Amino acid sequence: MTVYNHIISKDGSCGLNVTEVPITCVGSAFGECCGSDGQCGSTEAYCGIGNCQFGDCDEAGYTFDGRCGAQFYGLECGGAWGNCCSNKGV
C-alpha cells in the first residue's frame, strides 16, 4: 500500500516542493484552495473553476498525489500525473 503524505502550508505557498511532497492549503491560515499560481487563498481567484489545483475547490481540482476520479472527490489528473485517470483512480 502506498502512503500519500502532504505538508500543510506555513507560508501561503502550495503545490509540489523540491522533494515532491505536496504542500496543501487545507488546514492552513491562508485559505483552503491551492491556486494555479501555487499560492493559497479562499476567493474565486484561488478556488474557482480553472483556477484551483486542489483543496476546497468550487469544482473538482487537480490531484496532488496521483489519486483521481470518483473515489477521490472527483480530482482530475494533469501536469506531472498525465491527463488521464484510470478506472482504478490513479
What are the contacts of 48-57 at 24+ separation with CB within 8 A? 53/14, 53/15, 54/22, 54/24, 55/14, 55/24, 55/25, 55/26, 55/31, 56/26, 56/32, 57/33
Residues shown for the chain: 90
69 and 26 in a common domain: no
Are residues 54 and 84 both part of a single domain? no
Question: pLDDT tens for residues 23-40?
Answer: 889 899 999 998 888 899
Domain count, the chain: 2
31 with 68, same domain: the answer is no
Instruction: Check whether 4 has a pLDDT greater than 60.
Output: no
Q: What are the beta bridge partners of residue 7?
A: 23
Coil/strand/helix, residue 69 = strand
Q: So what's the pLDDT on residue 41? A: 96
Expressed as residue numbers, the domain containing 20 is 1-59
In terms of domains, do 15 and 28 share one? yes
